[in-house]
Amino acid sequence: MGGNQTWITDVTLLGFQVGPALEILLCGFFSVLYTLTLLGNGLIFGIICLESKLHTPMYFFLSHLAIVDMSYASNNVPKMLMNLVNKKSAISFVSCIMQTFLYLAFAHIECLILVVMSYDRYVAICRPLHYNVLMSWRVCTVLAMASWVFSFFLALVHVVLILRLPFCGPHEINHFFCEILSVLKLACADTRLNQVVIFAACIFILVGPLCLVLVSYSRILAAILRIQSGEGRRKAFSTCSSHLCVVGLFFGSAIVMYMAPKSRHPEEQQKVLSLFYSLFNPMLNPLIYSLRNMEVKGALRRALTKDRLM
């Protein structure tokens, strides 16, 4: 390292480089989406906690997904909204690294929770007689806790590899939050090891889980087609199709962002794809599960009816 290099203490998030009028419009639009994200996922979590009929493994994992989505959005969106209304868009380097750490941790947790949910559906449909044993509350708790612990550990590995690098400028990140690829551009040293670890992590946390999900659902589809009852097939398809919608949105945007060849405007592409992670996916998840799930809609209907009677 050269003697003229200095460590940065804060960075500027360039965000969306648009005019003042469009900034206000975007701020209002994203504020509505963020509010819907918190309300939707909070409602799903509350219904699962209050409705005894939803105290099953599938909804146990869905409650974890709701927590992750609220945390994921809250890690990135509030700072983005502040930067849209405030001309000063600086963030301390320590806060930036913490934002990167939480972003990675919650993204990893969502991947693993979605895989566990697909396994739960596979056992429920393909091995129903063994369901209570294979998906006991002890097993569900271990799977959920392992997903959280492993995800935070993997995120910590990324952060440790980042902190070994010297950061000497420029002090600007062309993003609306401290996304890991954008943060690495601040380093004034070779980041090939970081890039290799990120790619390896994508194989392990994206491609691997996606393959497991696809294998599970191929087995599920074969089992559904063997169901004699039309009502049974409809219910199974309804539950599984909602999960596949979430999986497609999340894994699709993630793989395009981190594993697809870069376009001519990779930074702008990253911003748009990051919005799916930070805002659109967390907002759509409760809508997909509630609109396509009869049990959730029934629980919500009973809760609203109970409130009216009281």
10-305, CATH topology level? Rhopdopsin 7-helix transmembrane proteins (1.20.1070)
Q: Burial, 110: exposed, middle or buried (Cβ in 10 Å; 0-12, 13-18, 19+)?
A: buried
Q: Over pLDDT 90: what percentage of the chain?
A: 29
138 CA to centre of own chain: 25
Q: Which helix (H) or strand (E) holds 91?
A: strand 90-92
Q: How confident is the model at residue 154 (pLDDT cuts 50, 70, 90)?
A: very high
For residue 15, give the 3-state DSSP assignment.
coil
- Highest mean pLDDT: which of 83-92, 205-214, 231-240, 297-306? 205-214
* Residue 306 reports pLDDT greater than 70: no
Q: How confident is the model at residue 232 (pLDDT cuts 50, 70, 90)?
A: low
Q: Over pLDDT 70: what percentage of the chain?
A: 84
- In Å, how far are 222, 231, 243, 245 from 211, measured between CA atoms? 17, 29, 15, 15
Give φ, ψ of 164 to 5 degrees. Answer: -75, -15
More confident residue, 193 or 305: 193
The sheet with strand 90-92 has its strands ordered as 90-92, 10-13, 172-173
The strand pairing partners of 38, in sequence order, are none
Of the listed ranges 102-111, 118-127, 256-265, the one predicted with least confidence: 256-265
- In Å, how far are 60, 190, 295 from 301, measured between CA atoms? 20, 57, 10
The arithmetic mean of pLDDT across residues 281-305, rounded, is 72
* Residue 141 reports pLDDT greater than 90: yes
The strand pairing partners of 186, in sequence order, are none
**How many angstroms separate the CA atoms of 303 and 234, rounded?**
25
- The domain limits of the chain are 10-305
**How many angstroms separate the CA atoms of 71 and 12, rounded?**
23
Structure tokens at 78: 């509030």
